[in-house]
A and B are shown apart, each in its own frame.
Chain A
Amino acid sequence: MRWVNIRPSRRSGLLLGALPLLIVLAIYLFAASARHAANPSDKILPTPGAMIAAMHGLLVDADPLTGHLIFWADTLASLQRLGLALGICTLSALLVGLVLGVLPAARATLGGLVTTVAVIPPIALLPVLFIVFGLGETAKVALIVIGVAPFLIRDLAEHVAALPQEQMVKAQTLGASSWQLALRVALPQAMPRLIAGLRLSLGPAWVYLISSEAIASDVGLGYRIFLVRRYLSMDIIIPYVAWISLLAIAMDVALAQLSRRGFAWAHQASR
């Protein structure tokens, strides 16, 4: 049998997928115990026990200064920034992307602006954002929005503009106005694409979030990582990074489910 025709079943697929993760984990544990055998106070590769001990303080003990549980306060602050920013991105992408996609005149007018903004590296604008919006929440949210929204807008506008012309003509022969075209033909077909774009944007969004938190913040997952770096606290950094990736995976899965549940028609071909 040719290699290209070997398709794992669902169960063996799960097993195969778990295998590399388990191998990485085993390598880490092996390396950590080897280092600790040589130097019991090693900080670079902490053992699971050391990580649990370090995290315990952040998870259940309140910070004596603020009275907050640090880990949960960090998570909440980061998710709030991310959620707010992605919400703004989604809304603006729907609004602007749809208008650009449906109206050729709008595309001619604003397409250049969106493209220009989209090619600016967002991190290069971070100083400008801090100067304009101060060091508070606004600058952090704005960085994510500037980084993600133009991509989503362009992607959505192109997708809508590329919908078969036949559909647009058909809708018009059925009496649809421009508004109805946007609302009933373009919008529903844009939604699965928007969700797919959002899933792809999660990675960059986390990058922008952690960058802005690292530079100026007093709470947040990115802030904490960069803070404890000073004390070489790998026992905190590693669990935080694992938690961030867990959150990212959860968001990705949730968005995929949303698309599959809410827009089943878009996933029929792949079934």
Chain B
Amino acid sequence: MSDLLTFDNVWLEYGEKIVLERVDLSIAERSFVSIVGPSGAGKSSFLRLALGQEAPSRGRILLDGEVLTPECSPDRGVVFQRYSVFPHLTALRNVMFGRECTSARFTARLFGAARRAAAEEAEAMLVEVGLGDALHLYPAQLSGGMQQRLAIAQALMARPRVLLLDEPFGALDPGIRKDMHRLILGLWREHALTILMVTHDITEAFGLGTRVLAFDKRRIDPHAPHRFGATAVYDLILSRKTAAHEPDPQAEVLRLTESVITNTEGSL
């Protein structure tokens, strides 16, 4: 597996305030990277960098060996916790949106055979995420979980190289969240996706990820806490996860926490 996304000594600063420092990471193709950490540890900033919503103050981000332009583009899909579907379009039109934009530069609308083809493809995608019965409903008529399914389907239609998820299941209740975990794992295998997911839920992070990054500050200056940025302090590869073997997340967390403690005791 080759490296798809590379962070080469990346810093993110807002004036005096350093948010991220010395982020050096390589993310392999087809990996599922969970990103955890306390609030304000730069998880979302890291995701915004990968998305191209912001440019690093120092260092380079490479996608497929090319320096990333600091602007969102179709090679990186995204699903936010909320508001990432268009309220004025039906589920089907939401999923067709990307195809319509890339195929019709001026009108952003398709007609005739091209439209039918796009609609068929979108319908298949919606069926795959379990929204086959909701093609013609507006997002306001869908539950929170269904809206997130829709957002995922919409993102996958653009066939992104990397799928970025920013606390995608944070606003869902636990039962629905389980269903969504099953869905995203299935899609990840099926579509050979590379996923970066920010989450607050540590069980989710270990249950889904093939690799867990924990962001935090390495050093804290009590007189000027803003002068040290966060970085990936723990980088755990969960290599034994395969399609056949679904690990028990609870046991996984315990085992890994122990190993983290023993590992870091040596380095401190």
Give the interface of A toward B (CB within 8 A): 164, 166-167, 169-177, 179-180, 183-185, 188-189, 263-266, 268-269
Residues of B within 8 A of A166 (CB): 80, 82-84
CA of A202 to CA of B85, assembled, Å: 33
Residues of A within 8 A of B53 (CB): 169
Q: Tell whether, in the assembled complex, residue B160 and residue A173 are in contact, meaning their CB atoms are under 8 Å apart.
A: yes
Query: Can you list 25 contacts pairing A with B, beta carbon distance less than 8 Å?
Result: A169-B53, A169-B72, A169-B80, A170-B80, A170-B84, A170-B85, A170-B154, A171-B101, A172-B72, A173-B78, A174-B97, A174-B98, A174-B101, A174-B154, A175-B102, A177-B105, A179-B106, A183-B108, A185-B86, A189-B86, A189-B88, A265-B89, A266-B88, A268-B141, A269-B140
Q: Tell whether, in the assembled complex, residue A172 and residue B86 are in contact, meaning their CB atoms are under 8 Å apart.
A: no
Q: Name the residue of chain B whose CB is nearest to the CB of A176.
A: B101
CA of A189 to CA of B138, assembled, Å: 13
Residues of A within 8 A of B158 (CB): 173-175
Q: Tell whether, in the assembled complex, residue B138 and residue A263 are in contact, meaning their CB atoms are under 8 Å apart.
A: no
Q: Name the residue of chain B whose CB is nearest to the CB of A170.
A: B84
Residues of B within 8 A of A184 (CB): 97, 100-101, 108
Contact check: which of A170, A177, A180 meets B78 at CB < 8 Å?
A170
Contact check: which of A174, A176, A177, A265 meets B87 at CB < 8 Å?
A265
Instruction: Give B58-74 as 1s and 0s: 1 = Cβ < 8 Å from A's Cβ atoms.
Output: 00000000000001111
- How many A-B Cβ pairs are below 8 Å? 88
Interface size class of B (residues with CB under 8 A): 35 or more
Closest 8 CB pairs of A and B: A174-B98, A172-B72, A164-B83, A166-B83, A175-B74, A268-B140, A175-B102, A180-B108
Instruction: Give B105-123 as 1s and 0s: 1 = Cβ < 8 Å from A's Cβ atoms.
Output: 1111000000000000000
CA of A174 to CA of B89, assembled, Å: 15
Instruction: Give B89-104 as 1s and 0s: 1 = Cβ < 8 Å from A's Cβ atoms.
Output: 1000000011011100
Give the interface of B toward A (CB within 8 A): 51, 53, 71-74, 76-78, 80, 82-89, 97-98, 100-102, 105-108, 138, 140-141, 151, 154-155, 157-158, 160
A180 to chain B, nearest CB (A): 4
Residues of A within 8 A of B101 (CB): 171, 174-177, 180, 184
Q: Is the interface of A mostly helix, strand, loop or mixed?
A: helix
B183 to chain A, nearest CB (A): 19
CA of A169 to CA of B154, assembled, Å: 13
Q: Name the residue of chain B whose CB is nearest to the CB of A169.
A: B72
CA of A203 to CA of B195, assembled, Å: 54
Residues of A within 8 A of B82 (CB): 164, 166
CA of A39 to CA of B11, assembled, Å: 90
Residues of A within 8 A of B74 (CB): 173-175
B118 to chain A, nearest CB (A): 12
Residues of B within 8 A of A169 (CB): 51, 53, 72, 78, 80
Residues of A within 8 A of B140 (CB): 265, 268-269
Residues of B within 8 A of A173 (CB): 51, 72-74, 76-78, 155, 158, 160
